[in-house]
Amino acid sequence: MKPAWLFAQQWMAIGIKHAWIPLAAYLLGSIPFGYLIARLRGGTDIRAAGSGNIGAANVTRVVGPGAGAMTLLLDAAKGYLAVWLAAHFSDENITWMTAAALAAIAGHLFPIWLGFRGGRGVATGVGVFLPICWPAVVAALVIWIAVVAFWRYVSLGSIVAAAALPLLMYFLYAPGHAPPRVASFGTTLAAVLIIVKHRPNLERLIAGTEPRFTFRR
Query: Would you state the pLDDT for residue 87?
Result: 96
Please state, in angstroms and rounded to a whole number, the distance separating the CA atoms of residues 116 and 163. 24
Q: Give the mean pLDDT of the chain.
A: 90
Residue 9's pLDDT band (boundaries 50, 70, 90)? low
Task: Report yes or no on 107 lying in a domain.
Answer: yes
Domains: count for the chain? 1
Query: Would you state the pLDDT for residue 105?
Result: 98
Task: Report yes or no on 213 lying in a domain.
Answer: no
Please state, in angstroms and rounded to a whole number, the distance separating the CA atoms of residues 141 and 75. 15
Please state, in angstroms and rounded to a whole number, the distance separating the CA atoms of residues 145 and 45. 28
Task: Report yes or no on 13 lying in a domain.
Answer: no
Query: Would you state the pLDDT for residue 17?
Result: 72
Other CB atoms within 10 A of residue 17 CB? 11
Task: Report yes or no on 1 lying in a domain.
Answer: no
User: Is 80 exceeded by the pLDDT of residue 215?
Assistant: no
Task: Report yes or no on 175 lying in a domain.
Answer: yes
Task: Report yes or no on 215 lying in a domain.
Answer: no
* Domain extent for 122: 18-207
Question: What is the pTM for the complete model shown?
Answer: 0.90
